[in-house]
Amino acid sequence: MNEKHTPLSQLGEFALIKELTQDFKLQQESTIKGVGDDAAVMDYKDMQTVLSTDLLIEGIHFDLSYCPLKHLGYKAVVVNLSDIYAMNAEPKQITVSIAVSNRFSVEALKELYEGIKLACEFYQVDLVGGDTTSSLKGLIISVTAIGQGKKDELVYRNGAQVGDFICVSGDLGAAYMGLQLLNREKQVFLENPNMQPQLGEHQFLVGKQLKPEARKDIVAYLKEYNIKPSAMIDVSDGLSSELLHLCTQSNVGCLIYEANVPVHNDTYNQSLEFNIDPITCALSGGEDYELLFTLSPEEEAKLNTEEIDIAVIGKIVEKDKSCLLQSRANHLHKLTAQGWNSFKE
Ligand code: ADP
Ligand code: MG
């Protein structure tokens, strides 16, 4: 961590933009013009353009008391790329806009951009623009991701058919457990600032919260085996909420088996310690950034779940059968969206 504290006012807007963006190298052939003109220019030739944007507000979406700025920068990019992958498309460029109060130093913003740069390098996307302005209080970040896909390869939320298998990548609920742990440590710290956070043994869960990854590898795997999902969505607000979106838009119902929902051992053990049913973490925790998709029986037959961390967790049924979870004890429960809601009290 850089200990210097250069006030933003010392640089001025243009010098600041230069300072923040000069180390970014353009990697994509489709980027014709990046940062520096009135607008960026891209050429996708015969591909369709996919675009997604997110707005992150300090105190609502992130808490700088436990989220280092570098991680925040990385995560802000990753959550956007996840939306592009959820269309079965490839992200190519991003723009990043920030509003900052004078509480932040040039060095702090450089930390943020260090994380943004790491994500750009790892996912091979170009930073091609943004906007920089001041805020009265706190930090606001908006990231827009732009990607491309062939028209017949893009996958929407509305394509699921009765009889399709429901699949999810990775495991669920870990990021939510990570957040609970960070919150607990923060409370301890607020009560006694001499207490240092005890997070070492919880690296997996805390890592899932602070440094999530988008499932670029899953999209690549599906492409490699020529498997095309009928519908897809990324899991940002919890499995339940995303299943309901997918089913509503596809005009179908679903049946999910609790026993098939992937939950990591650490998530399982930690949720018991917090007195939360592990399946509740998977259904209603958020920020997993896994991919939830449906496959027709022909497509599902091409899937080898020994080879990749994709689990088949249920099937699509008629709409009038509604959206249900079959518990390990064989009871049926209606899925409800307790997903993360930015307007809840
Ligand atoms: P304008 O006044 O026309 O909005 P700016 O001075 O805001 O132009 O931006 C100049 C260039 O720097 C543009 O290419 C813009 O996209 C880019 N830019 C501005 N702020 C950021 C930022 N925070 N991150 C990345 N690029 C930025
Ligand atoms: Mg501007």
Neighbours of 286 (CB within 10 A): 23
Q: At what angle do helices 265-273 and 203-210 cross, to 10 degrees?
A: 100
What is residue 3's predicted lDDT score, i.e. its pLDDT?
75
- Ligand nearest the Cα of residue 117 is 1
What is residue 198's predicted lDDT score, i.e. its pLDDT?
67
Beta strand spans in 63-124 (E): 90-100
What is residue 175's predicted lDDT score, i.e. its pLDDT?
97
Neighbouring residues of 173: CB distance < 8 A, sequence distance ≥ 6: 263, 264, 267, 271, 278, 281, 282, 285, 288
Around ion ligand 2, residues with a beta carbon closer than 5 Å are 131
The ligand 1 atom at the shortest distance from the C-alpha of residue 36 is 14
What domains lie within the chain, and their CATH numbers? 11-149 (3.30.1330.10), 165-334 (3.90.650.10)
Q: Are strands 126-134 and 90-100 parallel, antiparallel or unpaired?
A: parallel
210 lines ligand 1 (CB under 6 A): no
Facing residues of 167 across strands?
Answer: 293, 312
Output the CA torsion sign for 74, 79, 80, 81. positive
The ligand 1 atom at the shortest distance from the C-alpha of residue 13 is 6
Pocket test for ligand 1, best of 131, 132, 139, 146 (most atoms within 8 A of CB): 131
What is residue 345's predicted lDDT score, i.e. its pLDDT?
44
pLDDT (tens, 9 = 90+) of the chain, 345 residues, equals 557 899 999 998 999 999 999 999 999 999 999 999 999 999 999 999 999 999 999 999 999 988 999 999 999 999 999 999 999 999 999 999 999 999 999 999 999 999 999 999 999 999 999 999 999 999 999 999 999 999 999 999 999 999 999 999 999 999 999 999 999 988 887 887 777 666 778 999 999 999 999 999 999 999 999 999 999 999 999 999 999 999 999 999 999 999 999 999 999 999 999 999 999 999 999 999 999 999 999 999 999 999 999 999 999 999 999 999 999 999 999 998 874 445 544
The ligand 1 atom at the shortest distance from the C-alpha of residue 34 is 14
Report the Cα 13 to chain-centroid distance in Å.
30
Identity of residue 306:
E
